Structure 1
Amino acid sequence: MKEKNHLFSATGIPSLFLIFGVLMLVILSLLGYGTSRQDLRASSLSLEQTSAYYNACSEAADFYSELVQTLEGFQAQAKTETAYYQLVSDYLNSQENVEWDSEEHTAEYVKAFSDTQSLAVKVSVFWTDCTADSTTSDNAASDTINAGLDVTSSNIAGILSWNTVVTADWNPDNSQSVYKGE
């Protein structure tokens, strides 16, 4: 006698499709979870790097503001250009993260914000004779104000460059083997 097994074909094939569908959804959800964890890690690293950069920029801006105020005091204190630059040299050589170039009258502030990058700010220091004709300085001051610039800082110091500098060699990650077609 032949028995027809319609019950298996009626419930077996849809069950297999259901199991396969659930398995596919589980795999897709695991892949999505892995990708989201990688995105979270990359975002966290990016946030740390960006925060460190802006903290270094803030410290460099504070250095520049403090330098301008100190230079204003030296300008009023010094009678000659050599005495002024000697005061500036003594002050900047005592500062941390600052290199003074006495020939070019420039100071370079370098602040590391990661293992591989630093912020480098180069500032030029100027001598202005305070005993110059007041009408000329008044006209220059009004021209500078009209240009929207700060009179004191533009006459005493100026930022020449504000750059991010790579301080380490780049070493590629060769830990994952790549198929080369051989």
Structure 2
Amino acid sequence: MNKRQTPVFNIGSSSMLVIFIVLCLVTFATLSLASAKNDHDYSQRIADRRTAYYNACNTAETMLDTIDAELDDIYTNRHDDDDYFTSVKYALPALEMDNVTVSMNFTLEEPVVNLRIPVDDTQELDVTLTLSAPEATGDGYYRITQWQTVNTAEWSGDNSLHLMDINGTDSK
């Protein structure tokens, strides 16, 4: 009565276990690689956006330096207070740099100069300066009253997802 006992795990089941473990490792490695690539792409987009923003800020600072020099020149060569704002009104539009839009509003109590510098295709840096009266230039020739990015792309409120066509017709 020699009975052979068959092992609980035979050679085939251990091979299947190894194959399953290898497939799990390959799947996790693929998911990790995809996640790392997405993180890299996202970081690159953020870096590009920040670089574009700071390039626009540098352009704005350069423009402010030019405006400062021009306002100083106008202030030192003015004849009276009315002459100051008239000279500013005609001098500042001539200072336009590449990609910088200068607009002015002298109808307010304190004149305003607005600079618009493109950041990218969808945003602009909007800088608003409030000019000081000639007698109040001890604090500077202007105050920066706004420094912000503004969205210039047209917003589309359609956030719907085309998941399934129930009626059998294409609803797009």
Distance 2:106 2:116 in 1: 17
CA contact (8 A) 1:75 1:127 kept: no
Q: 1:126 aligns with which of 126, 132, 137?
A: 132
Does 2:109 match 1:113? no
1:39 alignment partner in structure 2: 39
Higher helix share: 1
When residues 36 and 173 of structure 1 are mapped into structure 2, their CA distance, relative to the original with a 3 A threshold, is farther
1:155 alignment partner in structure 2: 140
SS at match of 1:94: helix
1:17 alignment partner in structure 2: 17
1:36-78 alpha-carbon deviations (Å, 9 max, x no partner): 1111111101000011111111111221122112111100111
In the TM superposition, residue 6 of structure 1 has moved relative to its aligned partner by 4.4
2:107 alignment partner in structure 1: 103
Amino acid at match of 1:66: T
- Identical residues among aligned pairs (%): 25
Structure 1: state its 5+ residue gaps: 130-136, 138-150
When residues 172 and 32 of structure 1 are mapped into structure 2, their CA distance, relative to the original with a 3 A threshold, is farther
When residues 175 and 14 of structure 1 are mapped into structure 2, their CA distance, relative to the original with a 3 A threshold, is farther
What's the TM-score, normalizing by structure 2?
Answer: 0.79
Distance 1:70 1:4 in 2: 104
Whose relative contact order is higher, 1 or 2, with alpha carbons under 8 Å and at least 6 apart?
A: 1
What's the TM-score, normalizing by structure 1?
Answer: 0.75
CA contact (8 A) 1:92 1:99 kept: no
Does 2:154 match 1:169? yes
Amino acid at match of 2:116: V
